[in-house]
Amino acid sequence: MSVLLFTALLFGTSILAGLLGALTGLGGGVVIVPVLTLLFHVDIRYAIGASLVSVIATSSGAAVAYVREGLSNIRIGMFLEVATTLGALLGAYLTARISSHWIAIVFGVVLLYSALASFRRRRHEDISTTPNPLATRLELNGCYPDAGCEVEYTAARVPLGFGIMFGAGTLSGLLGIGSGAVKVLAMDQAMKLPFKVSTTTSNFMIGVTAAASAGIYLSRGYIDPMIAMPVMLGVLTGAVIGTQVLVKTRPHTLKMFFGFVLILLGFEMIYSGWSGRI
């Protein structure tokens, strides 16, 4: 395969990954890493490095809009970034210590969890408004616009959310994904933040988390510009298209379709890692 054809196929596949990631809110990294590994036979560590670069680009683009609209909570995001950054550094460190077979298996398990997250229907909004001593001391509260009103909220069970965020950061650094599903789990279900605040703040955070581990991948030579550049441009293009398409489509149908895709990729990654093909 020529370099030009390889780059074109990589760019086209990345557009699709970014589109699916934007439509479901799980990010393109959960698709691009297994596709690069299974379809293009790229070493999984180089695939993770390219995915991290694309995560930084897409997160930075979307975060600006969410912050401007007053949905993202910067103070909560930066506080939790302490946990995710430490976790990302640990994950990036473990990459060179863990066999690629086990990385593939762990990635497959995370894909299956992400599939379950895409199938799960949204429960009734459960927002914490009761003052929490630690949250009050750290000023982890705020308000966001909803239907012309300002909805106030405050964080609950801060230590639990902080611990889950450390795990999310470790997965991000180890697997090269935004691990948005785990971050939303920490803020939405553990800390009882509004769903809109959880998802938008998670989007703001994943770029910072990816940047922390991307530096280690770059120093080890796992970020190849020939792979990372078309992947980044493709995922970014797909994400922009996805935000436009999202308005005209049924989110539940998209999540169901994406969930089945993740299940197939997840089992294939586990099988490939277990059988030694990766």
Quickly tell me which residue has 């935004």 as its tokens.
Answer: 178
Give the residue-averaged pLDDT of 197-222.
83
Q: Give per-residue pLDDT as tens, 13-37.
A: 989 887 776 666 666 677 788 888 8
Distances (CA, A) of 139 to 49, 76, 143, 158, 163: 35, 8, 12, 11, 19
For the chain, what is the largest distance between any 2 Cα atoms, rounded to a whole number of angstroms?
A: 61
Q: Give per-residue pLDDT as tens, 168-204.
A: 888 888 887 767 767 877 888 788 888 778 877 887 7
pLDDT band at 229 (very low <50, low <70, confident <90, very high): very high
Smallest CA-to-CA distance from 132 within 157, 159, 162, 160 is with 157
d(CA 24, CA 27): 8
Mean pLDDT computed over every residue of the chain: 81
Smallest CA-to-CA distance from 153 within 122, 199, 197 is with 197
Residues 6 or more apart in contact with residue 38 via CB below 8 angstroms:
265, 268, 269, 272, 278
Question: Where in the chain are the domains?
Answer: 3-127+160-186+204-275
* Tokens at 244, concatenated: 């436009």
